[in-house]
Amino acid sequence: MRLLRTRQGTLVAVGVPILSVALALVVVGVLLAANGSDPVAAYRSMVSAAFGSTFALSTTIIKTLPRLLPALGIALALRAGLWNVGAEGQIYVGALAAAGVALFGPVVAFPIAAGLALLAAAAAGAAWGAIPGALRARRGISEVITSLMLVYVAIHLTNYLVEGPWLASGSTFPATDPVPIELRLPIIWTGTLLNAGALVVLGVTVVVAFVLGRTVFGLQLRAIGANDRASRVAGLSVGWVTVAAMAASGALAGLAGGIEVLGARGRLIEGFSPGYGFEAIAIALLGRLNPLGIVGAALLFGALDAGGAGLQTTAEGVSSAIVPITEGLAVVFVLIGLGIVEMLNRRREARAMLAGSQSSERAVTHDSVAGPVVEA
Amino acid sequence: MGDVKHEGPLLRLEGITKAYPGVLANDSVSFELRVGEVHALLGENGAGKSTLMGILYGLQRADAGRVLFGDEEVAIAEPRDAMALGVAYVQQHFSLIPTLSVAENLVLALRFGGRRISLRDGAATVRELSARYGLGVEPDVAVERLSVGEQQRAELLKALAREPRVLILDEPSSLLSPDEVQRLGTVIRRLAAEGMGVILIAHKLDEVLAVVDRITVLRRGRNVRTLVRAQATRELLGELMIGDLAARVDQQRAPRAAAGDDVLEALDVSVGGDRGQTAVDGVSLALRRGEILGVAGLQGSGQVELVEALAGVRPLTGGVIRMDGRDIGALGVRARRRLGIGHIPADRRRGGLVGDLTIAENLTLPVAGERPFSRFGVIRRAAVNDHAVELIERFGVRTPGPAVAVAALSGGNQQKVVIARELWRQPSVVLACYPTWGLDFAAAAAVHEELQRQRDAGAAVLLASMDLDELLGIADRIVVMQGGRVAGEVDADAAGAEEIGLLMGGAAR
């Protein structure tokens, strides 16, 4: 977790991710060139498909939305020191809940109906996130394992429903009936497919940033993430904050699932998420757990996704597989970069400590050098 | 120590100057070590002792000055150079791998220094050195199973295996019981008698006086004086070290206050430790209003666990805790805080403060949910900030401002933040565990003053400490813990350090 420490200079926080993305693009470019493709042409067609027109831009934003909220959720949990790797499952249960409200909920007018469905989506995601949180808080079971396992429960539950009881009548394509118009998120940018979900995501992003930085809950969450022992001594209920952080994390992912059902897809489709919840982990890390950084990272992933789709239609012989390769490399480089920064910091700290204006800080300052270190 | 042959200097540091941003850590400091001499380097925290030794050991480079071995000037750029010259440095924190045996640690350390020996030779070396200097260290025991004193002797042994000419010991007695300190003193004298030069970095006067030949006192990065043992008295050294603050030491001991009623009672309390052991085994004690109860003990005596149990951080496995007659054993930390318990935990960095958060955030962490610090769950920054500014002022925290991360503060200032957070509301019970650990004299004195102020204001104060001087200095009554039990109780006025020392070590020894 030390890698994710947020107490680092802005230069590191911004510079490392940007450099990492640039480096990833260079490496992929070299790979393309080695394969006989023209990397410049490939990148040009990607940029054009992601930003080249109003429609391209809206596509990038649409592709950003389902990644942004889960990434914010993951970051929220990580700030509390918790690895919610189950966002993918929380997306699916959120989608299920929204579709459930659409199919069986009360018939009410638009904003209320859609609002109800989105609330249900968030609540379902919250429940899915709270389970690993509670298991961790009560029994000390690793939330990594449980949240990941719940992903498969959620996916297969979705598969069962859309292939069986919820399958659109007379259809063989595993999806529900389209969502009634009262629940559809309307298009907000004429000439594109961008829907009102974008506004919801934007609003929620601001709320998350506010909660993290300005509320008691946010403070407690950051406190237990940075030092749960000291938090307990200070009287915080570490267990409660753990459950709440995981629930909030799940709620964000669930909401993303709901927005997909009511917005871009218009119904619940089997396998509609190609792994947004997993990509979101990478986005959270690339964005350094900072809401603004995550918005940037999610936009990058959205643009790569949109650009990758353009690639297949324009650039000869270039596979869109370069997109996940680029994404993966970028994250790997970020982690390496932060690792290097951390190593340099530690070395400097250790030296400063030995240099010692604080030489008798026995119990206190040595946790970074104590432990299994051989005298050098 | 008349048996020392005063041969020529083994080592000289001349005019060493080292500046850090804003601080002149060493200002033209000189130091001389003779063959067969034990030379103490004395000074408060921040006096420049460790910087000077760091330069000698190649951890830092001096901005100016020379290092001479014999009459030859040497360049020491890194620890390897120092090792090659025969300098060994036993640092305060141990650099032993807990899961490996002593012999394995030795072999590994030597390999790092470029010397390869077999495990069998390593074990033989351990036995030989251990026998020669009476270290009592077995080669095949895993380090994690050794006591702190044994670990330190293993560390010393590791240094000796390099056959150094100069041995630097940094605060070697800080974690040891009185008889372990004595034992270490014997070892040090023997090393010196064999011709080794030993530099002892220290700030405990009595222990220094017992073993050294000469003493060099540093203050604020400068030489104050170098004196031979015969010239040195505790009082003189104290004065040289801390200058005009010395007056405060003597006044420290306030007349004993009349103790009031029992406020907090522990009855037959048992508590489990981190490794599942029984850390506290049936302890009963009572804290009285207007009294400082000292709890003496060595590391692992159960003090920490007892304090944590009283504060509600650690669950009881047996017994009852009563506050003002009410059973509070089942209450959580927050509820106990509300009842008026302030807790200064053993380890301020791991247990007290959240290093990545700011001073203001740390100060309000326990009360963030209350008005005026927040409303409807939203933090009111102005209130938090004002509160922090006020406490920073009141408790004398030295910081550029309340928005600084506590990790950036010095130990003394971190502790002031903890104390401010725990004591600003005048709690009726103060639980302080090792509150001055690792602090320099002035910072420790400030902590003592604050605890006494709380006592005088009517609080029941518990002070758990491993430092007898501290307990004898400010406690009104002292309970000694050993092996998780109360080994005895002594009146601080009458108590001799010896009696407590015996109780602490388990009188059987």
Nearest to A227 among B79, B203, B354 (CB): B354
Measured between beta carbons, the chain A residues lying within 8 angstroms of B357 are 219, 222-223, 226
Interface of B with A in 443-462 (CB under 8 A): none
Q: What is the pLDDT of residue B339?
A: 92
Report yes or no: B305 at the A interface, CB cutoff 8 Å. Answer: no
Q: What is the pLDDT of residue B67?
A: 92
From the candidates B23, B26, B49, B50, which should be mutated to test the interface with A, based on the most A CB atoms within 10 A? B50
CA distance A356 to chain B (A): 5
Exposure pattern of B194-204 as b/e (b: 16+ CB <10 Å)? Answer: eebbbbbbbbe
Q: What is the pLDDT of residue B502?
A: 62
Residue B471: pLDDT band by 50, 70, 90 thresholds?
confident
Is the CB of residue B464 less than 8 Å from the CB of residue B492? no
Instruction: Please check the confidence at residue B256 and state whether its pLDDT lies above 70.
Output: no
Give the CA distances from residue B307 to residues A8, A41, B9, in Å, rounded to whole numbers and listed in that order: 35, 69, 50
Structure tokens at B481: 């813990």
Q: What is the pLDDT of residue B99?
A: 82
Distance CA B438, CA B203 (A): 11
- Residue by residue, DSSP assigns B26-68 as EEEEEEEEETT-EEEEE--TTSSHHHHHHHHTTSS--SEEEEE
Instruction: Please check the confidence at residue B4 and state whether its pLDDT lies above 60.
Output: no
Instruction: Please check the confidence at residue B251 and state whether its pLDDT lies above 60.
Output: no
Residue A371 phi/psi, 5° resolution?
85, -160
Report yes or no: B311 at the A interface, CB cutoff 8 Å. Answer: yes
Task: Report the 10 Å Cβ neighbour count for A290.
Answer: 19
Q: What is the pLDDT of residue B246?
A: 38
Interface of B with A in 144-183 (CB under 8 A): 158, 170-171, 174-175
Q: Are strands B429-433 and B485-491 parallel, antiparallel or unpaired?
A: unpaired
Measured between beta carbons, the chain A residues lying within 8 angstroms of B92 are 359-360, 362, 366
Q: Which of B172, B167, B176, B122 is closest to B146 using CA atoms?
A: B176
Distance CA B293, CA A108 (A): 69
pLDDT in tens, B19-75: 876 568 899 999 999 999 999 998 866 678 888 998 999 888 899 999 999 888 999
pTM of the model: 0.70
The CB-based long-range contact list for B17-25 (8 Å cut-off, 24+ gap) reads B17/B62, B17/B63, B17/B64, B17/B65, B18/B48, B18/B51, B18/B55, B18/B60, B18/B61, B18/B62, B18/B63, B19/B63, B20/A355, B20/A357, B23/A357, B23/B221, B24/B221, B25/A355, B25/A357, B25/B51, B25/B221
Q: Which residues contact B404 (CB under 8 A, 6 or more apart)?
A: B358, B359
Distance CA B439, CA B445 (A): 9
- Residue B25: closest C-alpha in chain A: A357
Per the CB < 8 Å rule, is A362 touching B93?
Answer: yes
Percent of chain B topping pLDDT 70:
89
Report yes or no: A31 at the B interface, CB cutoff 8 Å. Answer: no
**Average pLDDT for chain B:** 84
Mean pLDDT to the nearest integer, B309-319: 93
Report yes or no: A1 at the B interface, CB cutoff 8 Å. Answer: no
Interface of B with A in 194-223 (CB under 8 A): 201, 203
- Residue B344: closest C-alpha in chain A: A233
Residue B1: pLDDT band by 50, 70, 90 thresholds?
very low
Q: What is the mean pLDDT of each run of 10 residues along chain A (376 residues)?
A: 53 81 90 85 87 91 95 96 96 95 83 90 96 95 95 95 87 86 85 89 96 94 93 93 97 96 91 92 89 92 86 69 85 85 74 45 32 29
Q: Which of A285, A266, A268, A224 is closest to A87 using CA atoms?
A: A285
Distance CA B188, CA B237 (A): 21
Is the CB of residue A128 less than 8 Å from the CB of residue A250? yes
Mean pLDDT to the nearest integer, B255-264: 70
User: What 8-state DSSP symbol labels residue B23?
Assistant: E
Report yes or no: A226 at the B interface, CB cutoff 8 Å. Answer: yes
Q: What is the pLDDT of residue A148?
A: 95
Question: What's the maximum distance between 2 C-alpha atoms anywhere in chain A?
Answer: 78
Is the CB of residue A192 less than 8 Å from the CB of residue A54? yes
Nearest to A355 among B50, B347, B355 (CB): B50
Residue B236: pLDDT band by 50, 70, 90 thresholds?
confident
Q: Which of B306, B312, B308 is closest to B268 using CA atoms?
A: B306
Q: Which of A1, A78, A24 is closest to A328 using CA atoms?
A: A24
Residue B373: pLDDT band by 50, 70, 90 thresholds?
very high
Q: What is the pLDDT of residue A376?
A: 28
Higher pLDDT, B468 or B379: B379
Distance CA A246, CA A125 (A): 10
Instruction: Please check the confidence at residue B295 and state whether its pLDDT lies above 80.
Output: yes
Q: What is the pLDDT of residue B365?
A: 93
Percent of chain B topping pLDDT 90:
37
Q: What is the pLDDT of residue A98?
A: 94
ipTM: 0.81
Instruction: Please check the confidence at residue B250 and state whether its pLDDT lies above 50.
Output: no
Structure tokens at A265: 């897809």
Helix (H, G, I), strand (E, B) or coil at B202: strand
Measured between beta carbons, the chain A residues lying within 8 angstroms of B59 are 351, 354-355
pLDDT in tens, B484-504: 888 888 876 654 556 676 676
Q: What is the pLDDT of residue B2?
A: 42
pLDDT in tens, B69-106: 988 899 998 888 898 899 999 887 778 888 889 999 89
